Structure 1
Amino acid sequence: MVIDWSVTAVYNTIMAVSVGIGLLLVLRFGSHLTKEKVGQLEGWAIGFGIPGFILTLTGAHMTLTWPLSKIGFPFDDIIFGETSLAFGVMLIAAAIIIWRKSNLYLKQGMNMNDMKLVSNTLMSELPYLLKPLSYFAAAMGLALISIAFAGIGFQLFAAPPEEPISGAFADYPMLEATFMSGLFAIIGIGAILLPFALNKGANPNFAKVIRFLWTIAGIAFVLFGAMNYFTHIGLIVNTMAK
């Protein structure tokens, strides 16, 4: 197979890493809040903002231009582009909220080195601030479940045989379809549970389930995205015109 790489772009490598880091940052931030050691809020805002910017930029480009359609995978522009755009915007929104709260606390004279005070204050305010955002997250969670069913039903995500490592399983399309669909599904389930976890007096099991699912998905996306830097470079090398 020969692909004219001058007419398309494949950057779901950095998208996958950013998604994984974004999920793990959300969990880490929540853990630091509950343990009353959240630290300086500006650092967390920047931490959310970096993957948020990357996902918003790449997701918007993929959503609007459909670059993967030029190499025969137009459905991946929807699967990876639109979901990355949505998650990126939500991460940026979280970054703005945290940054704004940091500035507000400083103006109120709060000692930002008093981690217990900052954590407790944020713990009381964030559920109300994030509740409107959680409805969009839950709706996108339903979309991720739909993508998971499509991945299994249409046996999507199989790598071409020219791709190193993943291409070795090209004759077994259900293998990668099950793996990727499973990742989308568990992120989606966690997103659907998010509005319930933010309710006052919510069952703590909601948060535990979200933490468990997103930890698995976050680590998997980081490792899979990092591996894809090798496999996608290999795919390009193996499919360039000689």
Structure 2
Amino acid sequence: MAWAAAPPELKIDWTKMPTYNTIMAVAAGVGLILVVVLGQRLLRGEHAEHYEGWALAFGVLGVILVTTGLHMTLTWPLAGQGFPFDNIIFGEPSLAFGLLLLAAAWYLWRRGGELSGAPDRITLVSRLAAPLSLFVFAMGLACFGIAAAGWTYTLFAAPPQEPISGAFADYPLLEATFISGLYVLVGVGAVVFPFALRAKGGPTVKIVGVCWGLAGLAFMLFGALNYFTHIGLIVNTM
């Protein structure tokens, strides 16, 4: 393989840069997908009898994202080898999304029966989510800021020592565009979300679903791929 051996000049002290945005990307991607699927079921009037199952799923993902996101936000572990900005890019959005998932998990676990028996579930969900939608909107704007920083400073480019992604090391704008594009998708869905709640259907809801669904799938697959590429980078640079 072309990436079997790393150039000797790049060495990273991994004890000073714990990296776990692999599990964060997978959890965030799956979380976005599940939010879209549950929203579709509610809009179609389908009965999601086992709301406890959704609560368990949101709870597991929320714990992962809150734990890793809070640690990254407060301790800046990626600053040890010169990547302090990644703590903001990955840590803070993960923390925010994780807390939202935990809030949803708590409600579905404790009050899922009330939601199931409501004569107008869409109106109930809209009223419940309306206050938090402002925070979702604000984090959407934050995602635009992250995307702009990625393009402006060509962040996210993998070093040549990283398998697969490193093959594009000479084209740093390529990966910057890919990751920034994902943040744009999440941001568009988040900014439109409050308006979709008010509309209770129509094009705004479809925009949120498409943006979050595509971004969730991409984050999930990219995070899974990074289990190989990040392990390869560690082996090649330790």
Tell me the TM-score normalized by structure 2: 0.92
**TM-fit CA distance, 1:32:** 1.6
Q: How many residues align?
A: 228
Q: Does 1:175 align with 2:174?
A: yes
Alignment-mate amino acid for residue 47 of structure 1:
A
Residues in 1 aligned to 2:53 and 2:129: alpha-carbon distance in whole angstroms: 19
Alignment-mate amino acid for residue 48 of structure 2:
V
Match of 2:69 among 39, 59, 66: 59
Residues in 2 aligned to 1:123 and 1:176: alpha-carbon distance in whole angstroms: 39
Which consecutive aligned stretches of 4+ in structure 1 deviate over 2 angstroms post-superposition? 102-105, 117-124
Residues in 2 aligned to 1:90 and 1:166: alpha-carbon distance in whole angstroms: 31
Q: Does 1:80 align with 2:116?
A: no
Residues in 1 aligned to 2:69 and 2:29: alpha-carbon distance in whole angstroms: 15
Alignment-mate amino acid for residue 92 of structure 2:
E
Q: Which residue number in structure 1 is paired with residue 206 of structure 2?
A: 208
CA contact (8 A) 1:14 1:225 kept: yes
**TM-fit CA distance, 1:168:** 0.8
CA contact (8 A) 2:126 2:200 kept: no
Secondary structure at the counterpart of residue 81 of structure 1: helix
Match of 2:58 among 37, 44, 48: 48
Match of 1:221 among 211, 215, 219: 219
Q: Which residue number in structure 1 is paired with residue 112 of structure 2?
A: 102
**CA RMSD, aligned part only?**
1.5
1:190-219 deviation digits (Å, cap 9, x = unpaired):
0001111111x4561100011111111011
Q: Which residue number in structure 2 is paired with residue 109 of structure 1?
A: none
**TM-fit CA distance, 1:141:** 0.2
Q: Which residue number in structure 2 is paired with residue 20 of structure 1?
A: 29
Residues in 2 aligned to 1:120 and 1:225: alpha-carbon distance in whole angstroms: 40
Unaligned runs of 5+ in 1: 106-116
Alignment-mate amino acid for residue 188 of structure 1:
G
Q: Are the structure 2 counterparts of residues 19 and 121 from structure 1 closer, same or farther at C-alpha, using a change threshold of 3 Å?
A: same
